[in-house]
Chains A and B, each alone.
Chain A
Amino acid sequence: MRIIYFGAIWIAVFLLLATAPLIVLLMAPGQPGREFWREFSVALAFAGLSIAGLQFIITARLRYLTWPFGLDVVYHFHRRLMIIAVFLILAHPTILIITDRTTLELLHPAFSPWRTRFAVLALGAFAFQIVTSVWRLNLGMRYEPWRITHNIFAILAVGLAVVHAIGVGHYMATPTMRSLILILAILWLGLILYVRLAKPNILKRRPYKVTKVVQERGNAWSLYLEPDGHPGMRFHPGQFSWITIGRWPDGITGHPFSITASALNSGRVSHTIKALGDFTSQIKHIAPGTPAYLDGPHGSFSLDRHVAPGYVFIAGGIGITPIMSMLRTLADRCDSRQLLLIYGNKTWEGVTFREELEDLKGKLNLEVVHLLEEPPPGWEGESGFITPQLLSCRLPENRMEIEYFICGPPIMIDVAEKSLLALGISMERMHSERFQLV
């Protein structure tokens, strides 16, 4: 229940901050009114700017703020909100131009006042953010350069928009609005300083050391780390952390990966990473002794938050990693509850942790159902993809009382959730982890 209360409080605070400029304008406008459409467009722009500024808080990875929801959902929320914010901000010039064609004259390069130039630059920065974030992969942008430009353009876009509002001056000239924007600006700036300066310094004081890198099936590599001069972090099985290898933990170049170790491992952690991109393909080359920094733990995908008489895990490919942490932890706890793992992979040879899962069946009340996309000749197990029929055959009789943890490619998660819903499983019992944060 504590989680629900905290979640509700944070949502209420968010709504209050998002609407704060409009509430202030409504309670103390301080200026004579203008025509309806102009006021409407100004109000939308203030709301859009307020929501955009709030993203500095939402994406600051503040654990007290994100733990009721899970960081994957917080980032999803951030993406949705920014699309809404940019629409609200774009509506401002659009309405002004439609209702008063003379507004277009302000865009003439020869006569354009500086406040308008700032507005155009801010709109350009916001548009750049949306295009490069939504279509990053289509544009062929690598993750690290994208993270750096995304951070710079975020500050530019909000900063330029605030300068434009100050330049127009109408409502920004009122003491209440000035005070509000000043408070918000201090908050945004403080968070930027915390994320870029204070937090890296905190992480720097808690270094880890790579102890070994082990190849796993499925083109994956397990990176083992141990704390260097501190007791390490405590985490719940299924959580993840941001890893920075061998350099200053600047908060930009880190990458998020699930922890695969048991939560009872006394500070030592391991992450199993599939070689898919520039960073992940380099994991195998990391030498033992290399320093590393962990920002975490993050995430709400953990059975510790959902006590039940049994659990069903549905994993696709490398989505097994957080589930592996849960299974290892349950084995260390000598847990005897009923467990079912439905594990989809392309080939039998590429099943990450195949042998260890067999071992875990001896330690836990665990049934493992392998589901292969390309089964080898003579395969007698399940093949194909997750379907309601497969789940209907495999789920235990007490299927309405147990909890479900799903992790894998987004399409697999969607299909698994829909299949479970079709079988009458309530949405509250389904928990998923979406790897694709950006």
Chain B
Amino acid sequence: MRIFIANQIAAFTAMLVILLAVIFAAVHGLY
């Protein structure tokens, strides 16, 4: 159970930072 949750949080972290990186690049890199 705890391992499952840890894996989910790790995967969520990866998706969150990639999403933020895309938003940043789209907002800032497409001036």
B: contact size bracket: 20 to 34
Whether the pair B29, A73 counts as a contact (CB closer than 8 A) is no
Q: C-beta contact mask, A22-36 vs B, less than 8 Å → 1, else 0?
A: 110110010011111
| Cβ contacts A to B, 25 pairs, < 8 Å | A14-B9, A19-B20, A22-B20, A25-B24, A25-B28, A26-B20, A26-B24, A29-B24, A33-B28, A33-B29, A34-B29, A36-B30, A39-B28, A39-B29, A40-B25, A44-B17, A47-B18, A47-B20, A51-B17, A70-B2, A73-B2, A73-B5, A73-B6, A76-B3, A431-B2
Measured CB to CB, the closest approach of chain B to A177, in angstroms, equals 13
Q: Which residues of A contact B (CB under 8 A)?
A: 11, 14-15, 18-19, 22-23, 25-26, 29, 32-40, 43-44, 47, 51, 69-70, 73, 76-77, 80-81, 84, 88, 300, 427-428, 430-432, 434
Q: Is the CB of A81 within 8 A of B21?
A: no
Q: Is A80's CB under 8 angstroms from B17's CB? A: no
Q: Separation in Å of the A312 CB from the closest CB of chain B?
A: 15
**Contact residues of B between 1 and 31, Cβ < 8 Å to A:** 1-7, 9-10, 13-14, 16-18, 20-31
Contacts of B21 in A (CB 8 A): 22, 40, 43-44, 47
Cβ of A421 to closest chain B Cβ, rounded Å = 10
Q: Which residues of A contact B22 (CB under 8 A)?
A: 40
Q: Are A77 and B10 in contact (CB under 8 A)?
A: yes
Q: How far is it, in angstroms, between the C-alpha of A89 and the C-alpha of B3 when the chains are bound?
A: 25
Decide if B28 touches A29 in the complex (CB within 8 Å): yes
Contact B2 A69 (CB under 8 A): yes
CA distance A399 to B16 in the complex (A): 39
Chain A residues within an 8 Å CB radius of B30 = 33, 36
